[in-house]
Structure 1
Amino acid sequence: MSPGRLEAVSHVLRGLAAGHDDPPAVSTTTDLDTALRGADFVFSAIRVGGLAGRTADERVALELGLVGQETTGAGGVAYGLRTVPVAVRVAERVATLAPDAWVINFTNPAGMVTEAMRRVLGDRVIGICDSPLGLVRRAAAALGLDPARVSPGYVGLNHLGWLRGLTFEGRDVLPRLLADDDLLGRVEEARLFGPDWVRALGAMPNEYLYYYYFTREAVAAGSGRTRGSRCWSSRTASTPPRSPARPRRPPRGRGRAGSGTARTWPRPATPRAPANARPPTWRRAGTRASRWPSWPPSPAASPPP
């Protein structure tokens, strides 16, 4: 338990409560049982191992030439192996002290953790993620529409999903977005994958699918400082020690420079996809994920954090 993070979260909650006539009382504790006893809802957002653990997960995977990210690839599996036992223990305490409570899981890897907790608590565990909603809002805003007035057709779950339709006043307006390069340039996911790529899919993929569609580029982009190390060093004003796996490859891409800055990606001179091209999802059986065809166009932005 981090007292500093506990105080930061309580400060945010008190700020959210300010200005309301009858806000809920905010209290803090470092004892799990005290926090759970008699609860109706449990919001679970934990980071087992802290940012140092995340940094290790990302770096070890990247130094082996694999995707190093906290929810995806080898890095995500490592984070899940560390987190799932703790999440299960939390679920067991909820079952004992607040058996009627609903658990809302926001801990990554959300799919693994939610499934593990459901084995203890059944259907009273809900896994959530803000990335699908963010995608819908960005797509609606690009079209000049109020996100509250559109109805999305989102296929998949959390990070593994695609926006396949966006209905406004009874009409699907997503095809208009996909057909217009200028409009697509206003959507972060379209800049990440490239307009020809999203048109070939006929849908807007969640940003985390970048790690599957562009595995090679994602590994290259992460060969410098990882997202975890940037967050960790910003908190400690020092860089965590590197794992002794093998020497770092020279970085081949440039990711996000820091919180709040624009994402950039140097676009190699790769041919644009032909009009009748298909994404490599349909590549020949038996090919490895890292062996991509000569297309698609290289992404114009860095991978999601």
Structure 2
Amino acid sequence: MRLTILGGGGFRVPLVYHALLGDRGAGRITEVVLYDTDRTRLGAIGAVLRQQAASTEHPLPPPVVTETTDLDEALRGADFIFSAIRVGGLEGRTIDERVALDLDVLGQETVGAGGIAYGLRTLPVAVRIAQRIAAVAPEAWTINFTNPAGMVTEAMIPILGDRVIGICDSPSGLGRRAALALGVDPSTAFYDYAGLNHLGWLRGLRSGGVDRLPDLLQSDDALSSFEEGRLFSPDWLRSIGSIPNEYLHYYYFARETLAAVQAVRQTRGTFLLEQQSAFYAETGKHPEEALELWQKTRAERESTYGVESREVADAGERDERDMEAGGYEQVALSLMRAIAHNERASLILNVRNRGVLHHLDDDAVVEIPCTVDANGALPVAVSQLTDHQAGLVCSVKAVERSTIEAATTSSRSAALKALAYHPLIDSVTVARSLLDTYVESLPDLAYLRA
């Protein structure tokens, strides 16, 4: 089978290839096509992948890696398409963050103002890619990891239908950590999780027919043993009766997180831009050391993830168990195997709601447990959102849809609504200033200048 990776020069691509190297099953991926607009990045990541293959013992030939900057060539013949593009690069992310912070608004790349700017920049490109997939590889399954993942997936569905499925590693990681804190095998548990991408809650954890989440919420020791328990504090988690996705820290502790981000020398985007620019430059000089350089850079990247939120919560450094492999690349591999081989799997995915969550319409893309087989992903029944959860989810869904409207109709007023509607932006005046500055600073938003 052939897998095409859009954004193939991206830093996290070797995680996907590592997962493919570990797949010994029949009908596994045998060819990987990397597509990117940047040949330098493509070459660097291609070198990492080939060194991964050479350093891994396996009884079967590793997937053959090819690289191209021609989109149609990359798509043609693909069985699966993994989309992980970053329109505007990390340079765009630094602008997303800095513009927001200068107006005393959180600028995280998928949450609030930064996420909206990222969406406005990305959605037109994602729609064009979906159109090319429909024309060149209509039978392929598209797995979307491009952020903001739920928003991008919803924008691609009118073109690709249910053959596009969004993934994220945050919900599965939360479920796994919660299960381990209870001494439960993560692979045997059912996670009652629901919301939107980067805005969801674990409301139940069933093992052996029994919901074990109440036991977890009552144990300070168990809660303090993993990332989310430390981030939100046992008292707050017991108050809300659930465990939020880590990104909800930006909502529940907005003032504290904003102050922490403004206090540091550089934003997360600036850190990653400097770090990854150094990696690609060094790999260009020493391609024979590509894998070693990538591993060193990744270790630093992972250990500093979410540092501002952990400082606010006094959560300390990330635990090694919180950084274990098994993230989005394993979700993608499980999804591909379930579809390709009709191997029934249960995964938390970004799909159409289909009436599962009563506060949202059928076509709203939600993040929810699904049963996956050769027919694709079908959401399963979960408990309904509480008033608090539903209010926040519906508010952010309105933001997502206004962003999609702006991107697909070039509507500046829709872009303003998206910013003004967001719970973390407390003024229409600030929303106008954000939009004006983003349009002036980001060439990819030129379509909103009219």
TM class by shorter-chain length?
0.7 to 0.9
Distance 1:282 1:159 in 2: 14
Instruction: Decide which of 296, 303, 319 is 1:260's aligned counterpart.
Output: 303
Residue identity over aligned pairs, in percent, reads 59
Distance 2:80 2:213 in 1: 36
Distance 2:301 2:42 in 1: 24
**2:172 alignment counterpart:** 133
Distance 2:312 2:248 in 1: 20
**1:295 alignment counterpart:** none
Q: Tell me the amino acid that sits aligned with residue 112 of structure 1.
A: M
Once the two structures are superposed, the pairs formed by residues 88-103 of structure 1 within 5 Å of their partners are 88-103=127-142
Q: What is the root-mean-square deviation in Å for CA atoms of aligned residues?
A: 2.7
Deviation at 1:58, TM superposition (A): 0.8
**1:73 alignment counterpart:** 112
Instruction: Decide which of 30, 41, 44 is 2:69's aligned counterpart.
Output: 30
Q: Is the 8 A contact 1:104 1:125 kept in 2?
A: yes
Deviation at 1:28, TM superposition (A): 1.3
Deviation at 1:25, TM superposition (A): 2.3
Once the two structures are superposed, the pairs formed by residues 48-127 of structure 1 within 5 Å of their partners are 48-127=87-166
Distance 2:313 2:109 in 1: 25
**Residue 228, structure 1, aligned to residue 269, structure 2:** yes
Instruction: Decide which of 241, 262, 267 is 1:202's aligned counterpart.
Output: 241
The alignment of Structure 1 onto Structure 2 pairs a total of residues equal to 258
**1:169 alignment counterpart:** 208
Once the two structures are superposed, the pairs formed by residues 151-190 of structure 1 within 5 Å of their partners are 151-190=190-229
Distance 1:267 1:121 in 2: 41
Deviations 1:39-94 (A, max 9, x none): 12110001111111001101101111112011110000000011111111111111
Deviation at 1:214, TM superposition (A): 1.8
Q: Is the 8 A contact 2:144 2:164 kept in 1?
A: yes
Q: 1:192 to 1:145 in 2, by over 3 A?
A: same
Distance 1:118 1:281 in 2: 25
Q: Is the 8 A contact 1:118 1:125 kept in 2?
A: yes
Q: Tell me the amino acid that sits aligned with residue 58 of structure 1.
A: E
Q: 1:289 to 1:84 in 2, by over 3 A?
A: closer
Q: Tell me the amino acid that sits aligned with residue 230 of structure 1.
A: F
Please, which runs of 5 or more residues in structure 2 have no aligned partner?
Answer: 1-36, 279-299, 315-386, 392-422, 427-450
Instruction: Decide which of 135, 144, 147 is 2:183's aligned counterpart.
Output: 144
**2:80 alignment counterpart:** 41
Name the stretch that deviates more: 197-206 or 170-179: 170-179
Indicate the structure with greater helix content: 2
Q: Tell me the amino acid that sits aligned with residue 176 of structure 2.
A: R
Deviation at 1:267, TM superposition (A): 6.0
Distance 1:205 1:167 in 2: 17
Distance 1:103 1:282 in 2: 29
SS of alignment partner, residue 265 of structure 1: helix
Q: Is the 8 A contact 1:156 1:162 kept in 2?
A: yes
Q: Is the 8 A contact 1:215 1:290 kept in 2?
A: no
Please, which runs of 5 or more residues in structure 1 have no aligned partner?
Answer: 238-256, 269-278, 292-305
Distance 2:80 2:234 in 1: 42
Distance 2:313 2:175 in 1: 26
Once the two structures are superposed, the pairs formed by residues 246-285 of structure 1 within 5 Å of their partners are 259-261=302-304, 263=307, 264-265=310-311
Indicate the structure with greater strand content: 2
TM-score by length of 2: 0.53
Deviation at 1:231, TM superposition (A): 0.5
Deviation at 1:259, TM superposition (A): 4.0
SS of alignment partner, residue 72 of structure 1: coil
Q: Is the 8 A contact 1:216 1:290 kept in 2?
A: no
SS of alignment partner, residue 46 of structure 1: coil
Q: Is the 8 A contact 2:257 2:312 kept in 1?
A: no
**1:7 alignment counterpart:** 43
Distance 1:79 1:216 in 2: 22
Deviation at 1:32, TM superposition (A): 0.9
Distance 1:180 1:53 in 2: 42
SS of alignment partner, residue 105 of structure 2: coil
Distance 2:158 2:389 in 1: 32
